[in-house]
Structure 1
């Protein structure tokens, strides 16, 4: 079964460009993962500092492999001081039909 989630965070005032650069670099790496099917980055129209990342992985094993990727920790460490939340807020999603 596919693993689908939404990650959300808000860039601090003045940090939007740096967050956008970080997430852009990170997205390139995640999209190369064998088990990643989708890694789409959005900002809210009403609040461009609010980032939403829609992620889909082939299955739970692919998601666990993603979590263990060597670039994940450094990305999260660099992101933490640039966002309003303590960390990305993750919402796991299930198909409705």
Structure 2
């Protein structure tokens, strides 16, 4: 399993827009991209302008397919106007992945 965590800093007046766009991307990706396994939108507990996306894919190829797809493009087309990021905080493969066994 390929996983990553990224952060975005969002303009205060557009937080709800960011959350809606991220949730829409999560819903569409999970429903239509077979390699997408988890897509979580997390609000920072101290800074209300910071959000994290925690995503899990079957493998790096599945993430690359997501990154080349329409939901990824639509999210960035919208969020680029009011969010800074992504800042990569973590990315890699799950060690001891039982799902691959």
TM range (shorter): 0.7 to 0.9
User: Structure 1 segments of 4 or more deviating over 4 A?
Assistant: 94-97
Describe how 1:39-78 pairs up with structure 2 within 5 A. Answer: 39-78=39-78
Q: CA RMSD in A?
A: 1.7
CA shift at 1:54, angstroms? 0.7
Structure 1: runs of 5 or more not aligned: none
**Structure 1-normalised TM-score?**
0.84
Report the equivalent of 1:29: 28
Task: Give the aligned partner of residue 12 of structure 2.
Answer: 13
Aligned residues: 94
2:65 is paired with a residue of what secondary structure? helix
Distance in 2 (alpha carbons) for counterparts of 1:22 and 1:14: 14
What are the superposed Cα offsets for residues 23-42 of structure 1, whole Å, 9 maximum, x if unpaired?
A: 11111012222101111110
Structure-2 separation of matches of 1:34 and 1:95? 18
Distance in 1, Cα, partners of 2:55 & 2:40: 7
What is aligned with 1:88? 86
